[in-house]
């Protein structure tokens, strides 16, 4: 486990050619760009949590059947400060950094003050976001870093707070057919209020980048949702969209702001201020994209924790959304590096299996319906929505499948009816051991797995001109737990789940989080959208999501 999680990974600054076995489809040309933690020790200091490690970007450039791999650490301000000091000097969510004992009293006092209202890290290690012609490494703070997807060079630092008042923001934005970007962030005690801010980054003006104008400068607040608690906002990792609605889950997995303000003084991490409150309900907020206001009905469900929304769509007056749920917030605890050792199987057993659930909400509630009656009439689901007093609705989901995480879909179907989910498969360990294609219609699945292989999040890339939802390929970066087996890029036929090719590289590749595929980037840098956008444009003949 030390090889996979704890050991610092070396950069591969120059492209190295992979050994390709099988045949990569001739139409597949571009860059698979991924992000995740790669360095967990600096000098004599060590991060506490795997999620805290310094961001290591890596890419697979696919061109004419050949594959080239490279990797490079994100040169964030956090990275630079730590490397120059040869110790961890910038705090991460699970690791609080303290000043050098040799520093004077004034430096120490300043450190305490700066952590009372923390300026979070720019260690952007979670995902990659496309914004116009630009690509950004992202995390869950207000900072993002622009990068060059071909060279992995780190460019300028961007603070969302210059454009919208948010202290935190998700790393899972949504894109529409027009090129607009939607995201959600938390504004903590701003003008006496804590709220969740849905913001929109508009599609770029043609030639704007050449004129030095970024679409980020035109960021606008789309809608705000007041938090139920001023000092205990919900933690969230993603959200859902349909053609006409936005779905935001205010779950009882909460950050205690007062504890965060005193964490540095108390000698604990900010992560210790995040707690699951099983006695509270999960509030389901639905925003009408046409009015930019919440719908009048108040929806709620049982306490749960959701990291990843899968998809959502509208059908016969109902809003359906699928999410991966947990019964508690224990998943984060399993990834402390102290648990990721030779006793990993014992230390990192999930107490709650990730479960794919479907929620169905009635968009128009019959005022004459009896209290306690089921408002869902769809024959395709067993999900229920029970009417309560005072325009409230209690939602009971349909359980679809267990053991899925890191879900992906054909993004042409984002916000639309869909059938297939491509995901990493997990059992009672949080580490994926297989890749799964789940068929929502038949409740059946196809699986790829190989001994000693840990797959990363699978990405779907559609075949050009494809009409069927699963006409395309799956890309996944595979890390091997066998030192004698090289890591590789796996290429699967998305329809049959048979292996088409693999591209092995003799490098020490890290287990990553998220990323995207940039079609044709290897030939015509920066002019093509990532795969989740390109299908959306191809599908623009349907009613494009309103933003």
Model pLDDT for residues 15-66, shown as the tens digit of each residue: 999 999 999 999 999 999 999 999 999 999 999 999 999 999 999 999 999 9
pLDDT at res. 351: 80
- Under 8 Å between Cβ of 432 and 4: no
pLDDT at 109 over 50: no
Cα–Cα distance for residue pair 280/68, rounded to 1 Å: 50
Model confidence pLDDT, tens digit, residues 227-253: 999 999 999 999 999 999 999 999 999
Model confidence pLDDT, tens digit, residues 465-518: 999 999 999 999 999 988 889 999 999 999 999 999 999 999 999 999 999 999
pLDDT at res. 528: 37
Kindly give the pairing relationship between strand 298-301 and strand 392-396.
parallel
283 is known to lie in a ligand binding site: no
Cα–Cα distance for residue pair 226/477, rounded to 1 Å: 40
Helices (H), 75-121: 77-85, 105-116
Residue whose entry in the numeric block shows the structure tokens 């091997």: 480
* Local structure of residue 157 (DSSP, 8 states): E
- Percentage of the chain beyond pLDDT 70 is 87
Cα–Cα distance for residue pair 388/410, rounded to 1 Å: 36
pLDDT at 134 over 70: yes
Give the pLDDT mean for 330-357. Answer: 81
Between the alpha carbon of residue 524 and those of residues 59, 206, 517, the distances in Å are: 16, 17, 14
Across 88-102, 205-219, 506-520, the highest mean pLDDT is recorded for 506-520
Residues 6+ apart with CB under 8 A from 110: none
pLDDT at 546 over 50: no
pLDDT at 112 over 80: no
pLDDT at 254 over 60: yes
pLDDT at 111 over 80: no
Give the pLDDT mean for 441-449. Answer: 97
Residue whose entry in the numeric block shows the structure tokens 């630009």: 134
pLDDT at 108 over 60: no
- Under 8 Å between Cβ of 129 and 136: yes
- Higher per-residue pLDDT: 529 or 369: 369
Tokens coding 92: 């991460």
Give the pLDDT mean for 308-333. Answer: 96
- Higher per-residue pLDDT: 452 or 192: 452
pLDDT at 4 over 90: no
Q: What rounded mean pLDDT belongs to the chain?
A: 89
pLDDT at res. 347: 64
Q: How many residues does the chain have?
A: 547
Q: Which of 30-34, 83-87, 327-331, 425-429 comes out lowest in average pLDDT? A: 425-429
Between the alpha carbon of residue 279 and those of residues 274, 276, 282, 302, the distances in Å are: 15, 9, 10, 9
pLDDT at res. 77: 96
Among 496, 473, 482, 407, smallest CA distance to 450 is for 482
Tokens coding 9: 């990974």
Cα–Cα distance for residue pair 126/136, rounded to 1 Å: 11
Angle between helices 105-116 and 257-266 in degrees, nearest 10: 160
* Local structure of residue 256 (DSSP, 8 states): -
Tokens coding 518: 């940039």
* Local structure of residue 109 (DSSP, 8 states): H
Among 135, 126, 190, smallest CA distance to 158 is for 135
- Under 8 Å between Cβ of 137 and 74: yes
Cα–Cα distance for residue pair 156/420, rounded to 1 Å: 38
Neighbours of 221 (CB within 10 A): 17
- Under 8 Å between Cβ of 250 and 196: yes
172 is known to lie in a ligand binding site: yes
- Under 8 Å between Cβ of 43 and 89: no
**pLDDT band at 530, cuts 50/70/90?**
very low
Cα 88-91-96 angle, rounded to 5 deg: 90
Give the pLDDT mean for 333-351. Answer: 76
Cα–Cα distance for residue pair 366/145, rounded to 1 Å: 48
Among 251, 237, 259, smallest CA distance to 118 is for 259
Task: State whether the Cα torsion 101-103-109-113 is positive or negative.
Answer: negative
């Amino acid at each position: 486990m030390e090889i996979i999680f704890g050991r610092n990974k070396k950069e591969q600054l120059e492209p190295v050619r992979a050994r390709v076995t099988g045949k990569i489809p001739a139409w597949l040309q571009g860059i698979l760009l991924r992000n995740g933690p790669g360095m967990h020790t600096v000098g004599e200091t060590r991060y506490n949590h795997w999620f805290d490690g310094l961001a290591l970007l890596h890419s697979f450039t696919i061109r004419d059947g050949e594959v080239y791999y490279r990797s490079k650490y994100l040169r964030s301000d956090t990275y630079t400060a730590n490397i120059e000091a040869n110790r961890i000097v910038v705090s991460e969510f699970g690791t609080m950094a303290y000043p050098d004992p040799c520093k004077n009293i004034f430096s120490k006092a300043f450190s305490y003050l700066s952590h009372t209202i923390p300026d979070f890290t720019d260690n952007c290690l979670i995902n990659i976001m496309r914004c116009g012609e630009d690509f950004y490494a992202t995390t869950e703070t207000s900072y993002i870093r622009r990068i060059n997807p071909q060279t992995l060079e780190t460019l300028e630092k961007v603070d969302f707070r210059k454009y919208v008042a948010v202290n935190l923001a998700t790393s899972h934005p949504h894109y529409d057919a027009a090129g607009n970007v939607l995201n959600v962030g938390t504004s903590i005690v701003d003008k006496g209020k804590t709220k969740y801010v849905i913001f929109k980054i508009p599609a770029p003006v043609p030639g704007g980048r050449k004129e030095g104008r970024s679409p980020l400068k035109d960021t606008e607040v789309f809608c705000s949702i007041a938090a139920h608690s001023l000092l205990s906002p919900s933690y969230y990792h993603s959200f859902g969209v349909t053609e006409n609605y936005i779905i935001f889950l205010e779950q009882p997995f909460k950050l205690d702001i007062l504890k965060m303000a005193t964490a540095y003084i108390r000698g604990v991490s900010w992560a210790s201020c995040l707690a699951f409150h099983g006695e509270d309900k999960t509030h389901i907020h639905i925003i009408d994209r046409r009015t930019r206001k919440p719908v009048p009905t108040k929806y709620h469900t049982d306490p749960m924790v959701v990291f990843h929304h899968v998809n959502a769509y509208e059908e016969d007056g109902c809003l359906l959304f699928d999410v991966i749920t947990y019964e508690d917030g224990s998943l984060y605890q399993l990834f402390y590096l102290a648990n990721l050792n030779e006793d990993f199987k014992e230390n990192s057993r999930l107490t709650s299996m990730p479960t794919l659930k479907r929620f169905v909400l009635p968009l128009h509630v019959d005022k004459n319906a009896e209290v306690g009656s089921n408002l869902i009439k769809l024959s395709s689901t067993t999900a229920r929505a029970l009417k309560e007093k005072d325009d409230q609705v209690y939602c009971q989901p349909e359980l679809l499948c267990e053991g899925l995480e890191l879900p992906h879909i054909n993004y042409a179907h984002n916000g639309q009816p869909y059938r297939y989910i491509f995901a990493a498969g997990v059992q009672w360990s949080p580490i994926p051991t297989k890749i799964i294609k789940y068929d929502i219609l038949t409740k059946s699945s196809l699986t790829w797995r190989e001994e000693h292989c840990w797959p990363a999040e699978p990405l779907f890339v559609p075949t050009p001109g494809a009409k069927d939802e699963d006409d395309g390929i799956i890309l996944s970066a595979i890390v091997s737990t066998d030192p004698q087996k090289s890591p590789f890029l796996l290429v699967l036929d998305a329809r049959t789940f048979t292996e088409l090719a693999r591209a092995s590289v003799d490098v020490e590749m890290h287990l990553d989080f998220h990323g995207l595929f940039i079609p044709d980037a290897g030939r015509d840098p920066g002019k093509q959208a990532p795969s989740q956008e390109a299908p959306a444009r191809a599908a623009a003949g349907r009613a494009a999501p309103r933003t």
